[in-house]
Structure 1
Amino acid sequence: MTVTTMAVRLRVAARQPAVVLGLGTLLVLAVLVVAPIVGLVSSTLTAGNREAWSDVFASRLSENLLWDPLGNSILMGVTTAVLSTVIGGFLAWVVVMTRIRGRAVLGVLATIPFALPSFALALAWESVFRNDLVGGSTGILWNLGFQVPDWLAWGPVPVALTLTAHYFSLSFMLIAAALASVNGDLMEAAEMTGASKLRVAKDIALPVVAPALVSGALLAFAEGVSNFVTPALLGLPVRFHTLSTRLYGSITTGDTPRGYVLSIVLIVVAAMIMYTSTRVTGGRRSFATITGKGGRQRGIALGAWGWLVGALSWLVVACTTILPGIVLVLSSLARRTGDFTSGLTLHYWIGGSDPSIAQGQRGVLNNPQILQATANTVLLGVCVALGAGLLGLLISYVVTRSRHPRWMIGSLNVLSFVPFLIPGIALGAAFIAQFGAPIGPIPSLYGTFTILVMAGIAATIPFAVRSGTAAMSQVSTDIEESAVMAGAGLVRRLRSVIAPLTARGLFTGGVLVFVQMVRDLSLVVLLATPAMPVLAVLTYQYSSENFTQLANAVTVIIAVISVGATLAARRFEGAAQPWARKTTAP
């Protein structure tokens, strides 16, 4: 292809509004995604920072800086993946494939932990099992006279269990959706031919569920590796470090070059995991069970085993959803930390400053800093939801409505997926590296609301693009072609045709983005400052300073906002859950 031909094609493409829109969104992604990563890497290659690479990988500090935290991260990832898959798969089978009573309620309760902030379960665990190993207040069991062993109060066991209690919901939702697509008629026909129940499960049900099992396990592994707050709350007191806690410690203590190198390592590890997930699940597309013919789901009668399976299912959701909520609320009301015999009080909610209680800290609903953090958190969630939703819609429009130039479409697809590979705390470090210092006429953005919104949009753009693409796929091109024939330009089509028709799906996606920002700590823990507080960071600070009641009270506020928004979005969407569908007896 000659230079002249390329120039002609570029001029023709430039006259197409969709191409201009695509180039504009590509530029925005370059600023939000490419620039922070480039800034993170380049900052470690400057003359004064190159030694950080050798310090991390090949020095006497390497074991403590990298290898031990990396091993702990992988251990947490593997444990979380295995337990989440087993528990999530079991509950998915119960609520989708059986006919036990209350399975619809079980299904709803099983999805709630993923809508909660991950530190909610860690704080609940600490409120119950904390012992006197690290000093400070003790937990409920210790105050009742139970000698809680150190391995149950701190370190890898509680970290792994609380991570599992949070992320099993992800495996549950993926596996439940896969099981819901298994046609009961196919299973019954196989049994009529003489196939055993084991062979039916192995040859019909398992191939359909296998991609969801693998995908859920790898996603839980990635989340377990990159999670920050749970290891920080339950591991740091006994010096149990993971990659995320180690890089946080490096950056907050001023050792930013080594922290940036650890951020790059964490990004590479997470990217490898997610790439593996894509490769494994991408090759299992031949198990089609959705056809043009209707199929009924098949409910399995468990007989005498029904009560045992039901009791075990309710025990799981009670320990992961019901009891943690009760513990957080009651702990926020306890007059003395972890001691319900001392009486209950509303001081930590509505009390004024009293030097004899919590060093004079006000109740959360009477504290201007908490109120400001609540306003900042809600405003941040709304701004990120609007920004990511608009950008996701524009990218989805270009990708689904344009075919050329291919390099632009491919670049949009890749760049909109890249943030999914970057753990939140590493992305926060990347934004500090790129925008923490002045760039020409642009001042430093560190500590401003702007950098929080930018980082939030960058982190959530994969979800927004997926929601936008799903919504766009439901809008026929014939409708837009009619608008073109009527003389409507691109902007008018987007405003008057595309936006109204995709509003329902975009709203649901926007609420999910909002919830992600409200409950997420990893992304904002490095970016928020005392002058720009957010609820998640204040919760971590209160817990670190042993203000347990205040930390639990703020966590309850976050949980109410995030769970309420999630349930409202599902109700607005009106989509039936897999476990809500009627099943028939075999």
Structure 2
Amino acid sequence: MWLAAGVIAVLAVLVAAPLAGLVARTLDSDADGVWADVFSSPLSANLLWQPLTNSLLMGLGTGIGATVLGAFLAWVVVLSDVPGRRVIGVLAAVPFALPSFAIALAWESVFRNDRLGGTPGLLSALGVAVPDVLSWGAVPTVLVLTAHYYSLSFVIVSAALWGVGGDLVAAAELTGASRLRVATRIVLPAIAPALLSGFLLAFAEGVSNFAVPALLGLPVRFQTLSTRLYGAIATGDAARGYALSIVLVVVAGMVLWAGNRATRGRSFETITGKASRPRRVVTGAWRWPLFCTASLLVAVTAIVPGIVLVVSTVLRRTNSFSGGFTWHYWLGESDSSIAQGMRGVLRDPVVLSALQNTVLLGLAVAVGAGLLGLLGAYVVRRIVRPPLVGATIGFLSYVPFLIPGVAFGAAFIALFGAPIGPLPSLYGTFAILVLAGVAASVPFAFQTSRAALGQVSGELEEAAVLTGASGPRRFGRITAPLVSRGVLGGGVLVFVTMVRDLSLVVLLVTPATPLLATMTYRFASEGFTQHANAITVVIATISVVATIFARRLSDARPTGSTS
């Protein structure tokens, strides 16, 4: 039980305490009247209600768009006879591996107009009049978020479609049912829970995303809850920022609660004892139009943003081919005639320090979250007896999933931003970044480890008990090696998330602890487009390589049997 108590204590410090501190900071004497200011003062319209409306609009648009695109591509890959399905399936999973601000920066490089001054995008440079509605505000934000998050719906719906056996479809066709009737009466009801889950997950991500509305919305004062709370805390109005953080947590929690309630008990049983592969639809004359449509979608969202970003980093003049090409923004020394004398990113010591910090942060969080998730899952599956202990660990391990990154960062500032007894303030240190990253990554690490442990028979440890092996020895010699592949795969994905995440760290980073993601945001905000895009290419490369490694790891055959 000492291990269970230790896991609960760590989760309490990393999860429960920051949230409690967040609430406490809005109720102390220094924050008197903050809730009235947020909800019912003359400031509340601009402080809460308009940003909340915009956030819900972002979530709804992202949820609908991501679900439609993801479901269409899932149908093409799983149930159609369209050529190139495997390649389309691989590319459809790429956008989520990219940072959301990478797609936003690519969009800006193409569609930015001259409304706000500065260098316009490629279309404007070619003489195309780009309307404001495509350059700034709600429309480009929703489109970019959709392009980033449709991969979630694609993965979820694809898994559901693989479970729709061909025997069900064949039986319906034998009764004379048309293809439309089969689709609406059998396939759609069977995957309805997956569609709803994909929608709600994309909705929650769209509501809480910070990077995209900050880059495409803030320049025209299009505020969401995440950008508003960031602005409040960054300008010293911490109490109101903390209150907005709590509102954002509640909104995200309500969305996920609604999703769990709506999908509970709704799954149709389509997998029987007799194996049955999905029945592919013969698309006939629509085969090549569907191929072109699907290929265009994945190309525009997975390939074109990368090409745009890479090309933009070697243009001497921002978003213009007229000035020729240069490697200065990658390798150049200081030159007063280019980018106000800034060096290339690979020669800038601050950028190189940020690269080192980013990789170290990703590794530290992956190791910390992986270890905590493994120990928590081990306690729940192998040790714990009182149901309350297991429920407590499961609950604390799930709660961070409900908290948007910006709100989580605010919670850690509220708790660790000031000295606690003999402990100094952690704000501005690398330690607070690691602690926040581990806390935010616990849900995924815990679920990954729990799934891996579920594949290891308890009889192995029972046999070791008969030989007199102690608990730590059984864990280190038997359990840990057998689950290492699954835990390592989960750790790689945690690493990817930390490398590309901006929302969690944007409030926690200081000049003493630079990270690539925050440097990208700063350069983009200050108009250094080539530098911002070059750093984004570095982040995207690290993320995609690590994601491919994780996929190969998960596809590899286990080296031994656990039966």
Instruction: Return the offset for 1:447.
Output: 0.9
SS in structure 2 at match of 1:335 = strand
* Map of 1:296 onto structure 2: 277
Counterparts of residues 482-497 of structure 1 (less than 5 Å): 482-497=463-478
SS in structure 2 at match of 1:284 = coil
Instruction: Return the offset for 1:136.
Output: 1.2
Distance 1:29 1:296 in 2: 43
Q: Equivalent of 1:105, from 83, 87, 91?
A: 87
The gaps in structure 1 that reach 5 residues or longer are 1-18, 577-586
Instruction: Confirm whether residue 434 of structure 1 aligns to residue 415 of structure 2.
Output: yes
Instruction: Return the offset for 1:327.
Output: 0.3
Q: Equivalent of 1:205, from 181, 187, 190?
A: 187
Distance 2:472 2:334 in 1: 54
Instruction: Return the offset for 1:406.
Output: 1.6
Distance 1:182 1:156 in 2: 37
Distance 1:136 1:52 in 2: 38
Counterparts of residues 162-561 of structure 1 (less than 5 Å): 162-285=144-267, 287-561=268-542
Q: Deviations over 1:66-123 (max 9, x none)?
A: 0000000000100000111111110000011011111100000000000100000100
Q: Relative to structure 2, which stretch is displaced further, 488-497 or 551-560?
A: 488-497
CA contact (8 A) 2:4 2:384 kept: no
SS in structure 1 at match of 2:507 = coil
* Map of 2:127 onto structure 1: 145
Paired letter, 1:214: L
SS in structure 2 at match of 1:297 = coil
TM-score with structure 2 setting the length? 0.98
Distance 1:395 1:499 in 2: 13
Query: After the TM superposition, which parts of structure 1 deviate over 4 Å for at least 4 consecutive aligned residues?
Result: none
Paired letter, 1:495: G
* Map of 2:561 onto structure 1: none
Distance 1:477 1:197 in 2: 47
* Map of 1:45 onto structure 2: 27
Q: Deviations over 1:426-482 (max 9, x none)?
A: 000000000000000110000111100100011010000110011000000000101
Instruction: Return the offset for 1:486.
Output: 1.1
Paired letter, 1:135: G
Paired letter, 1:491: P
Instruction: Return the offset for 1:147.
Output: 1.0
Q: Deviations over 1:332-391 (max 9, x none)?
A: 111010102211111000111111111111111111111111111111011101110011
SS in structure 2 at match of 1:456 = helix
SS in structure 2 at match of 1:387 = helix
Distance 1:218 1:83 in 2: 12
Q: Equivalent of 1:114, from 82, 93, 96?
A: 96
Paired letter, 2:52: L
* Map of 2:48 onto structure 1: 66
SS in structure 2 at match of 1:365 = coil
CA contact (8 A) 2:345 2:534 kept: yes
Paired letter, 2:181: R
Q: Equivalent of 2:550, from 565, 569, 576?
A: 569
Q: Deviations over 1:391-437 (max 9, x none)?
A: 10111111112452121111111110000000000000000000000
Paired letter, 2:148: H
Distance 1:487 1:340 in 2: 73
* Map of 1:10 onto structure 2: none
Instruction: Return the offset for 1:194.
Output: 2.3
CA contact (8 A) 2:162 2:277 kept: no
SS in structure 2 at match of 1:199 = helix
Q: Relative to structure 2, which stretch is displaced further, 235-244 or 274-283?
A: 274-283
CA contact (8 A) 2:7 2:375 kept: yes
SS in structure 2 at match of 1:298 = coil
RMSD: 1.0
SS in structure 1 at match of 2:324 = strand
Distance 1:403 1:370 in 2: 46
Distance 2:32 2:549 in 1: 50
Paired letter, 1:374: L
SS in structure 1 at match of 2:34 = helix
Distance 2:321 2:200 in 1: 40
Distance 2:61 2:84 in 1: 29
The gaps in structure 2 that reach 5 residues or longer are 558-563
* Map of 2:560 onto structure 1: none
Distance 2:263 2:511 in 1: 43
CA contact (8 A) 2:344 2:531 kept: yes
* Map of 1:4 onto structure 2: none
SS in structure 1 at match of 2:30 = coil
Paired letter, 2:151: S
Paired letter, 2:2: V
TM-score with structure 1 setting the length? 0.94
Instruction: Return the offset for 1:314.
Output: 0.9
- Count of aligned pairs: 557
Distance 1:283 1:355 in 2: 65
Paired letter, 1:190: A
Paired letter, 1:213: L
Shift in CA distance, 575/181, structure 1 to aligned 2, threshold 3 Å: farther
Distance 1:65 1:557 in 2: 36
* Map of 2:76 onto structure 1: 94
Instruction: Return the offset for 1:156.
Output: 0.4
Distance 1:402 1:284 in 2: 32
CA contact (8 A) 2:112 2:135 kept: yes
Distance 1:291 1:475 in 2: 24
Instruction: Return the offset for 1:262.
Output: 0.4
* Map of 1:13 onto structure 2: none
* Map of 1:57 onto structure 2: 39
Distance 1:223 1:388 in 2: 21
Instruction: Confirm whether residue 32 of structure 1 aligns to residue 14 of structure 2.
Output: yes
Q: Deviations over 1:153-188 (max 9, x none)?
A: 001010000000000111111001110111112211
Q: Equivalent of 2:4, from 3, 22, 27?
A: 22
Q: Relative to structure 2, which stretch is displaced further, 486-495 or 120-129?
A: 486-495
